[in-house]
Structure 1
Amino acid sequence: MEQMEKSLLTIQELKEAVHGKIVGLAENLKNFCFTSVVTDSRQVKPLSLFVPLIGEFQDGHKYIPQAIEKGASVIFVTKSVYEAENQKYMAIASDNQNVTLVVVDNNLYALQDAARVYVTKFPSLVKVAITGSSGKTTTKEIMASILRQQYNLVATEGNFNSETGLPLSVFNIRKEHEAGLFEMGMNRENEIGEIAKVFKPENAIITNIGTAHIGLLGSRENIANEKRKIFKYIDENGFAVIHAKDDFASFLAENVKGKVIYFDADIPESESGVKFVEDLGVGGTKFTIDGIEVVLKIPGSYNYLNALSCIAMAKALGISSQKIADGINQLKAPEGRSSVKACVTKKDCHGAQKKITVLEDCYNANPDSMESALKMCAGLKVEGRKIYILGDMFELGTEAVEAHSKTGASAAAANPDMIIFAGRDMENAVKAAKLAGFRNIQYFSELTEDNLKKLSLSLLDYLKDGDFIFVKASHGMHLEKILSEIIQKTEETKE
């Protein structure tokens, strides 16, 4: 009984949530308990619920034996798989008295349904969600730092914001948590709708409507229609925060039952309580909140906008200006996302090392965030030269050629001393940069091991003390490999 009491859901709650069929002996059911949920068999630990997903290239069901060996206590089995191999799964249930099999129509939807029911066990939780075409994770980190000043907070770890990541994230909620902050991403139609149904946020921020995933959704109008589904569960007591100058601001606000709050750098201090003081370049942005000085240590005017959205939400939730200021002042940039570091390079061919500054933003990229980042870099005052390392932006479909060409032109105009382009789509950027008159360009269609070695050796010889490197691409390009090849160690994060 004690074991069942610590289970995240009872057997009856789980069965009803997923409309499942329980397979197992009486002994299995007596031992029913799970205290964590995973979709990766390598992450299974004792008393895990293992959800074997079926993907385009992998079927998680083949890892069920490994999951059981590592201590999984509950396992979802897709109905079609169970019926095709009925004897096999009956034997698994018979041979493992501490394992309960639950047969469901669709493992992904069962995961989401179980998570949705689990969230209802915490009716007093203050629920906040964040989405947008760019800046979601940075905004989430800013908002989390603020909320932690007032609440015992549970929040999305990393970017677990997808159709699987969000439901896995909400299973981290515990009775001691007072607020939940979850990021919601998408790469297909209705993904926001599905995961919003899981968490049912009472308050939400949409950072912007851009062109990320336009190759999958077809148009910014379709993207906006998807993103605004995050507002569906906000009632009259909740808050919807929207960028005032977004092209789709009025569209996003349509039919919102709660209070719509707009944010922007041009909203007067008398309304927002925020006054811009100074752009600190790579050091971030200095401003005041109701007279209290704040430094957002993440550079870029677009990240200042992300902070403004969080301030608007925090004020709506009744958090004091001092706590908001404390939260922002304590924040450091998430690793790989607009993080600025003073670094020492490895030795060049002459045995020399150089002190350089690196702005690493190679976790994600889309045309809007790339354009904003390059504009920021153009205006940066740095001790030495500027080197931009830019890689492909994914999921742009028919927009890819135009988008990468625009990036090339923007990069050439952003006062660089050298540009390194990587990726097949970046060939269009190379052409555009050359057309704009820029010549100091290196291009690698693929970052093979040989190309990585050539690039790192030439870069080490090129760099001088005081140089500045900006790195940005979609995460799948793994441009961080370049930095690991040239950087000896990190001395400090610039404050």
Structure 2
Amino acid sequence: MEQMQESLLTIKELKNAVHGKIVGLAENIKNFSFTSVAIDSRQVVPGALFVPLIGEFQDGHKYIPQAIEKGASVIFVTKSIYEEDERKYMSLASENPKVTFVVVNNNLHALQDAARVYVTKFPHLVKIAITGSSGKTTTKEIMANILRQKYNLIATVGNFNSETGLPLSVFNIRKEHEAALFEMGMNRENEIGEIAKVFKPANAIITNIGTAHIGILGSRDNIAAEKKKIFKYIKRDGFAVIHIKDDYARFLAKGVEGKVVYFGADIPEAESGVKFIEDLGVNGTKFSIDGIECILKIPGSYNYLNALSVIAMAKALGISAEQIAQGINTLKPPEGRSSVKVAVTKKDSKGIQKKITVLEDCYNANPDSMESALEMCAGLQVKGRKIFILGDMFELGTESVNAHTRVGAAAVVAKPDLLIFAGRDMENAANAAKLGGCHNLEYYSDLEEDNLKKLTSGLLNYLKDDDFIFVKASHGMHLEKILEEVIENKEEK
């Protein structure tokens, strides 16, 4: 007989964590147990805690019946919603004796509070967090592959790094895990503060302070102050890793209780243990760690810098140079994030296919990462021609016009053979590129069906063997649609 999985929290632990009120009969309380957590009723599995969130356009409470049908065993109900129709929820409780309803003041905060208490059940867990204006997910992937050489690791899947994603990730921790690595992002003021309070990282990396989300936070000063909250829970035996050349480095280090560890390309080998050997272009960067050679297969000096932050943290945690090198050498670039592929195109209008190289970075973009990537592409030695496809960068507020204009100017400096811009804001980049003397240029205000067809059919006819395509935009632009229409198949380089 299969052994029943233990509840992630007891009824007392959950009630105290969320300051909740249990609704229902003795039978409901007797059956209390949950072994997973979901905020989407479609993701509910038997034995799940369902947290129906209230968003700008949706109220998750309307999906409670579907969650029950799929086997939810515990359900949060927002107090104000519950008080509007107590009889409804009392009736649901009596009709579903295997479901425990918990009334809370705020479902999001209750989710976070429950996750915070859950983490305390793992006092020996090595806890590491990563944030920054750009490079978070790539840095997390590098760090994760290194940590796996020493620990049984639980890490953020994809970019589950938000006010909801972080607590959901936390609930995946189990007794067998020795280390936890979580990415922390933000889309509003104090989001880092809230999710850092959930996980309370003992060690953390800030990759950089840039201009991502400046439209929300208002200034780089505010961004730096928000990102710094990731260091709040680091004690004397913990590590705070900071880029030595970041202009906010001194501010970030101030008041940190643990040890501040700096990283950077200019730190001497005698201090860092790292020696740069060669920029391999689209094939990445070769370097050594305490004399052991390794290759980071993600191109760009900015990604090498991300690796340096990870190496600094790994060495501080006592991970050996052999384990660090093994983690870097076996790393596969995250899909859609600076991943380089050799691809065969679909047939053009003459029925001809071509073999090309694609550098795909469709998942995120901000002015800093965009300009760094363009600088990297400018220095790449490729057999064929260079084609850049650039899309809108989101959440820049009043900085958007200037930021996109700078990208247009930077793209011209990189000297592509064909420059394609997509998105309303990229019109500013297109105008700047024209002023900069770029003549082989195309602009599309959107990627709706007609524009997508025109862009991709033209691109298929333009491409030749050995051409190089660089694609980058914020994820909401979905530039991957272009590649789906152009490429027949692709393989890792």
Q: Structure 1 length normalisation: TM-score?
A: 0.99
The code of the aligned residue for 2:129 comes to: A
Distance 1:98 1:336 in 2: 43
Where does residue 209 of structure 2 map in the other structure? Answer: 209
Distance 1:454 1:85 in 2: 54
Question: How far 1:24 sits from its partner (Å)?
Answer: 1.6
Alignment of 1:279 onto 2:250: no
The code of the aligned residue for 1:96 comes to: N
Equivalent residues of 2:287, 2:294 under 8 A apart: yes
The code of the aligned residue for 2:59 comes to: D
Distance 2:302 2:209 in 1: 13
The code of the aligned residue for 1:138 comes to: T
Where does residue 227 of structure 1 map in the other structure? Answer: 227
Per-residue CA deviation, residues 294-336 of structure 1 (Å, 9 max, x unaligned), is: 1000000000000000000000000000000000001011000
Alignment of 1:194 onto 2:194: yes
Distance 1:382 1:85 in 2: 66
Distance 2:228 2:35 in 1: 33
Within 5 Å, give how 1:299-378 maps onto structure 2.
Answer: 299-378=299-378
Where does residue 430 of structure 1 map in the other structure? Answer: 430
Distance 2:100 2:478 in 1: 40
Where does residue 248 of structure 2 map in the other structure? Answer: 248
Where does residue 46 of structure 2 map in the other structure? Answer: 46
Within 5 Å, give how 1:437-476 maps onto structure 2.
Answer: 437-476=437-476
SS of equivalent residue, structure 1 residue 121: coil
The code of the aligned residue for 2:177 comes to: H
SS of equivalent residue, structure 1 residue 252: helix
Question: How far 1:4 sits from its partner (Å)?
Answer: 8.2
Equivalent residues of 1:389, 1:419 under 8 A apart: yes
Where does residue 267 of structure 2 map in the other structure? Answer: 267
Where does residue 143 of structure 1 map in the other structure? Answer: 143
The code of the aligned residue for 2:337 comes to: R
Distance 1:24 1:482 in 2: 53
Equivalent residues of 2:358, 2:470 under 8 A apart: yes
Per-residue CA deviation, residues 375-412 of structure 1 (Å, 9 max, x unaligned), is: 00000011100000000000000000000000000011
Where does residue 493 of structure 1 map in the other structure? Answer: 492
Equivalent residues of 1:4, 1:31 under 8 A apart: no
Per-residue CA deviation, residues 82-107 of structure 1 (Å, 9 max, x unaligned), is: 00121111111110011111000000
The answer to which of 389-398 and 80-89 deviates more is 80-89
Distance 1:160 1:199 in 2: 13
Question: How far 1:29 sits from its partner (Å)?
Answer: 1.2
Distance 1:269 1:460 in 2: 46
Distance 1:259 1:207 in 2: 17
Alignment of 1:154 onto 2:169: no
SS of equivalent residue, structure 1 residue 72: coil
Alignment of 1:385 onto 2:356: no
The runs of 5 or more residues in structure 2 that have no matched partner are none
The code of the aligned residue for 1:493 comes to: E
Distance 1:450 1:68 in 2: 43
Identity among equivalent pairs (%): 79
Where does residue 419 of structure 2 map in the other structure? Answer: 419
The code of the aligned residue for 1:123 comes to: P
The code of the aligned residue for 1:295 comes to: I
Distance 1:83 1:187 in 2: 31
Per-residue CA deviation, residues 434-469 of structure 1 (Å, 9 max, x unaligned), is: 000001111110110111111110000000000000
Equivalent residues of 1:3, 1:31 under 8 A apart: no
Distance 1:4 1:79 in 2: 31
**Segments of 4+ moved more than 6 angstroms:** 2-5
Where does residue 400 of structure 1 map in the other structure? Answer: 400
Distance 1:51 1:297 in 2: 40
Per-residue CA deviation, residues 235-284 of structure 1 (Å, 9 max, x unaligned), is: 00000000000010000001000000000001000000000000000000
Distance 2:456 2:319 in 1: 47
Per-residue CA deviation, residues 105-163 of structure 1 (Å, 9 max, x unaligned), is: 00000000000000000000000000000000000000000000000000000000000
Equivalent residues of 1:3, 1:33 under 8 A apart: no
Alignment of 1:111 onto 2:111: yes
How many positions carry a matched residue from both structures? Answer: 492
SS of equivalent residue, structure 1 residue 158: coil
Equivalent residues of 1:17, 1:113 under 8 A apart: yes
Equivalent residues of 1:4, 1:32 under 8 A apart: no
Equivalent residues of 1:52, 1:64 under 8 A apart: yes
Distance 2:296 2:143 in 1: 12
The code of the aligned residue for 1:262 comes to: Y
SS of equivalent residue, structure 1 residue 276: strand
Equivalent residues of 2:152, 2:176 under 8 A apart: yes
SS of equivalent residue, structure 1 residue 71: coil
Distance 2:355 2:3 in 1: 56
Question: How far 1:5 sits from its partner (Å)?
Answer: 6.6
Where does residue 169 of structure 1 map in the other structure? Answer: 169
Distance 2:12 2:184 in 1: 29
Distance 1:356 1:186 in 2: 36
Distance 1:467 1:26 in 2: 69
Distance 2:458 2:260 in 1: 52
SS of equivalent residue, structure 2 residue 73: strand
Equivalent residues of 1:4, 1:10 under 8 A apart: no
SS of equivalent residue, structure 1 residue 340: strand
Q: Flag the 1:5–1:359 CA change in 2: closer, same or farther, 3 A.
A: closer
The answer to which of 82-91 and 204-213 deviates more is 82-91
Question: How far 1:359 sits from its partner (Å)?
Answer: 0.3
The runs of 5 or more residues in structure 1 that have no matched partner are none
SS of equivalent residue, structure 2 residue 58: coil
Equivalent residues of 1:253, 1:260 under 8 A apart: yes
Distance 2:291 2:383 in 1: 32
Distance 1:259 1:376 in 2: 33
Where does residue 81 of structure 1 map in the other structure? Answer: 81
Question: How far 1:31 sits from its partner (Å)?
Answer: 1.1
The code of the aligned residue for 1:197 comes to: K
Equivalent residues of 2:154, 2:179 under 8 A apart: yes
The code of the aligned residue for 1:478 comes to: H
Equivalent residues of 2:5, 2:35 under 8 A apart: no
The code of the aligned residue for 1:288 comes to: S
Distance 2:307 2:439 in 1: 37
